[in-house]
Every structure is written in C-alpha cells, then in structure tokens.
Amino acid sequence: MSTSAKAALITIPTVLLAVLIAILVFASAKNSEKPEGEGPGATAPAVPLVEENSHRLDDAGEDAPTLVEFLDFECEACGEVYPVMEEVRAQYAGEVNFVVRYFPIPGHLNSMHAAVAVEAAAQQGKFEEMYQRMYETLPEWGEGRESEAPRFRSYAEDLGLDLAAFDRAVADPATQERVEFDFEAGQALGVQGTPTFFLEGEQFQPQYVDDITEALDAAIAARK
C-alpha cells in the first residue's frame, strides 16, 4: 500500500479511531455465547475458513491475502467497525480478498432475520447492497423487541429486488440453513463473539486501524 493511500486513512472519523480499540477488545465478551465445554483453551477443529459459497466483498484473486470477518448485523460493535472496514476496503481494493461470514448472536432478536434477508438478497446478486443497508440503518432497528422482518423486506423493495422471489427465499428453510452453516463454522473455528477477524488463516484481533493496515501490508509483501 502506498504512503499516499495510507494517508487517506485520516479520512476515517477521529472518534472511530479512538474507540476502535475498545470496540474490538470488548466485542467478544459482550456478544459471546460460549457453548458448554468450550473456552479459550479449546482446540478448534480444522474446518475451511473460506468456502466456495462464502461472500466476497472484494475478490483480488488467489494470489492475494484474505481477510475474513465473522459478523452479526445487530451487533453494535460490528456497526461501529463497519465504516472503518469500508475505508480499509477502499484503500486495498484489488490487493486483498475481503470475505464476510454470518455469525448471528442468539441473544439478538433480529440477527437471524437480518442475515436471512441479506442471504435472500444475495440470491438476486445484491449481497453487498443489503449488507451495507443493514449497517447503515442499524441505529434505527438494532436491539428492537419485535421482528424487523417487514423493515428488511422494504429494503429489498428499495433495492429493486423481485419481491416475490425475495419472499420465497426468506421462507425457504435452506436460506436460514445457509446462515447457520456459517455460524457453525465460526464456532468450530473458535469464534465466540463479533466482530472476529482472520487474516491468512489466523485469528486476528486488531486494536487500532494501524494494526489492520500494517498486517495487510505485511501479508501483501509476504506473497510477492
């Protein structure tokens, strides 16, 4: 990454830079749902970190390093990190594969509804658009006490999706099973909360934006 590109990261709101460390350090503890018998010392089974059907926000090719984020659309920490990661994505466009996987926290009422809506949109080629809409509107619906499925359907309409096809996808058990597939993979990989990142196959918990950019620069250099 060039020096000028790094300088562009200054455009990230200062408040986000200041709170990123707190968000990422405490995210797992806040959102964790630890299955009985698992803990920090548990050995994670070997499962693929990226599957053929994993959603790629940016595809830089097999020769580029890969950053994977397990996320929850109702996770406040994920919502705070979202604009930071969008900025990082812009700076590393064409250099890094950015992959996201679902990890809806069971304690969040609308996490699964949101993930199913995003997956239904993905079936019409609108994964990224619905992913972005969820985080951009999170303050409006997060931590609600009622289902926000009707709101998410309105997002599908705003995005110009075929609503009949969207409704069928939302109602199809296979759509939720696709979300659960990611969740179960995350558990097998030792994910205990969101957001959780993996860089080049290793769990990676940045505390500052510089941690992300320096790690990505090193990963890019290692592949040259």
Look at residue 62 in the predicted model and tell me its pLDDT.
95
As given in the structure block, the two tokens for residue 210 are 């510089």
As given in the structure block, the two tokens for residue 77 are 């920490």
Instruction: Write down the pTM of the prediction.
Output: 0.83
- Average pLDDT value for the chain: 86
As given in the structure block, the two tokens for residue 35 are 């299955």
Look at residue 46 in the predicted model and tell me its pLDDT.
77
The residue extents of the domains of the chain are 3-31+50-222
CATH 3.40.30.10, domain 3-31+50-222, yes or no: yes
> Which strands sit side by side in the sheet containing 196-199, from one edge to the other?
55-58, 97-102, 66-71, 196-199, 202-204
pLDDT by residue (tens digit) across 115-128? 999 999 999 999 99
Q: pLDDT band at residue 20, thresholds of 50, 70 and 90?
A: low
Which helix (H) or strand (E) is 98 found in, with range?
Answer: strand 97-102
